[in-house]
Amino acid sequence: MIPGLQTRVINLDRSPDRLARIATDLDQIGLEWRRLRAVEPDAAGDTEQFLYNRNAAMQFHGIDMTLGEIGCFASHVQALKEFLDGNAAALLVLEDDAQPDAAFAQGLTQSLDTLRNLTDLRWSCVNLAAGYHKRNRPLAPVGDRMLLRAYYFPILTAGLLWSRTGAQCFLRHVATAGACLPVDQQLRRHLAQTGLGLAFDRPLLRLRAEKSTIDDRPTARRQLARVRRNLPNYLHAALHQLRRT
C-alpha cells in the first residue's frame, strides 16, 4: 500500500481475461486497487452525454471519433471524477494492458516521494508508460531514471499519475472544449498549453502485447486537419521550454 494513492484499472466488461492478468500483477506487488468499469457507448446511443464535440473533432481530424475512442475518453474522465470525490492526494490510472511489476512498484514509490520533496514543482500528470525525448527538461533523478518536464507530453494513457489540481484542471478543459480527440492526444494538447506534464527518460511501466479493444480508426485523414491539430502543440511546447516553466 502507498499512502495517499488511489489506483483505478480501466477495464471493459467483455475483457475479463485482461482484468485477470493485471489483477494478478497488482496483487503480487501489493498495490491496493479497484476496477473502473470502462464506458462503452451504444452504437445507437447519444454520444453527447460523454461531452463529445463532433464539430471540433471534424476540425482536428476531418473524421468523427470512433465509439471506442469516445468510450475510452469517458472512462478516464470518470476516473478523475471519482478521484476528486475522495480525499486521496494522487491518482494512478492504469489501462488493462499495463504490466506492473516489482520494479514499477518501487519506481512509483520513489516517484511519489520525489514529487512530495519538490515542494515548488507545479505538475498535473506524469506519463508512466511512454517517453518522448524532445522538448523536455530534466528535473530530478528517480532511481535509475530521470524525471522530466515533458513540454510535449507523450502519447499513450496506459499509465498516468495525476495530482488533484491536475485532475481538476483537465476536467475544466473537457467541460469547456468537449471531447474532440482521442484522450491521449487531447491530454497532450491540454498539457502543451499548461506546461505541467511530466514523464521519464525511460518508461516506468511496461505494457503487454495486447490487441487494442478500441475499434479501428479509418486511416484516411485530411492533411490540413493534422497540421491544425499538431501545430499549436509544438508552439505551446516551444514557448514553455523557452520560459523553462
pLDDT, residue 21, reads 97
Using the predicted structure, report yes or no on whether residue 132 has a pLDDT greater than 70: yes
Q: How many CB atoms lie within 10 A of CB 235?
A: 12
Are 154 and 132 contacting, i.e. CB atoms less than 8 angstroms apart?
yes
pLDDT, residue 220, reads 46
Asked which of 43-57, 81-95, 189-203 is least confident by mean pLDDT, the reply is 43-57
pLDDT confidence bin for 47, thresholds 50/70/90: confident
Closest CA to 96 of 203, 215, 214, 182: 214
Task: Annotate 2-55 with DSSP letters as a single string.
Answer: -TTEEEEEEE-TT-HHHHHHHHHHHHHHT---EEEEPP---TTS-GGGGTB-HH
pLDDT confidence bin for 15, thresholds 50/70/90: very high
Q: pLDDT digit string (tens) for 49-90?
A: 788 998 888 887 778 889 999 999 999 999 999 999 999 999
pLDDT, residue 166, reads 98
pLDDT, residue 163, reads 98
Q: Which residue has the cell 480525499?
A: 87
What is the CATH class of 5-243? alpha beta
For the chain, the average pLDDT equals 88
